[in-house]
Amino acid sequence: MRVVFAGTPEPAVPSLRRLIESANHEVVAVVTRPDAVAGRGRKVTRSPIGLLADEHGIPVLTPAKASDPDFAAELARLEPDCAPVVAYGNLLPQNILDIPKHGWVNLHFSLLPAWRGAAPVQAAISAGDEVTGASAFRLEAGMDTGPVYGVMTERIRDTDTAGDLLGRLAENGATLLESVLDGLEAGEINAVPQSADGVSYAPKVTVDAARVRWELPARTIDRHVRAVTPAPGAWTMIGDLRVKVGPVTVTDETLAVGEISVRKDGLYIGTATTAVRLGQIQPPGKKLMSAGDWARGARLDAEVRAQ
């Protein structure tokens, strides 16, 4: 099939690479978010999907808005049979959805209808789900409401961060997406409407929402920190200093909520249940480092709390 692929961040790369290498499909163009200023140097940076397309000489479309009439005209000129999409990051109006013969097939990193929205991987870890997966579905006007062509499942490991889990889902989901396109081309696959039961939502995780709340149980904090790692990153206040924190280990130790204990094997912080051991910390302007080493060097006052 002639396909126009839409995507922007790194998790979309395995799917595009798979389709580029496919003998059954031709990627005639890529749609991605416009180049953006990023990093400390504030340099204009191409999206990971744009960079991969450039490497293979594939035309790249970067509309500021998907409603741009010029974008619609260019997409129609390309005459795609299907438009696979993975984490593109722009809402698509109905006139754009109607252009490809087989519509837009979205790879979403959850088992729909669970965790519709921008942050399904983070939500699944935070909620303590044991299993998640990816769904390939046909885009329609509603948010992640379209009928589903196929799914794959993935167990959530006890130590998974959002980055770990998303990496596996991106690789395994690429296989699912390719198989769905194969089925559409062969006329051997049909989409099934989503169930009205089990619907849940996963809004984008803000920096404010990534703050650690030490008054919660230790295992809830463990899941929360892993869910927002690496982005936007868990953080807390230690005294008047704002620091980022890495994944924690639940212990059997008992400390008051927010109480800090510096020991040889790390920095312990009290929660509503047992204390957690913080292995790594990132003070402002510094790289990630051993939490215990930082705390010993900082010579924290005995009254300082995490909050």
DSSP 210-224: GB--TTS-HHHHHHH
Contacts of 210 (CB under 8 A, 6+ apart): 228, 232, 233, 234, 235
Report d(CA 12, CA 10) in Å as an integer. Answer: 5
Q: How many CB atoms lie within 10 A of CB 303?
A: 8
* 139 assigned to a ligand binding site: no
User: 292 burial class (0-12, 13-18, 19+ CB within 10 angstroms)?
Assistant: buried
Exposure string of 30-67, with b = 16+ CB inside 10 Å and e = fewer, is bbbbeeeeeeeeeeeebbbbbebbeeeebebbebeebe
| The residue type at 6 | A
Answer whether 123's CB lies under 8 Å from 208's CB: no
Answer whether 113's CB lies under 8 Å from 200's CB: yes
Structure tokens at 91: 């809402």
Which of helix, strand or coil describes residue 54?
helix
Q: What is the CA radius of gyration of the chain?
A: 22
* 111 assigned to a ligand binding site: yes
Report d(CA 174, CA 163) in Å as an integer. Answer: 17
Q: Are strands 43-45 and 83-86 parallel, antiparallel or unpaired?
A: unpaired
Report the binding-site residues for (6S)-5,6,7,8-tetrahydrofolate. 110-113
> Which segments are annotated as binding site?
110-113
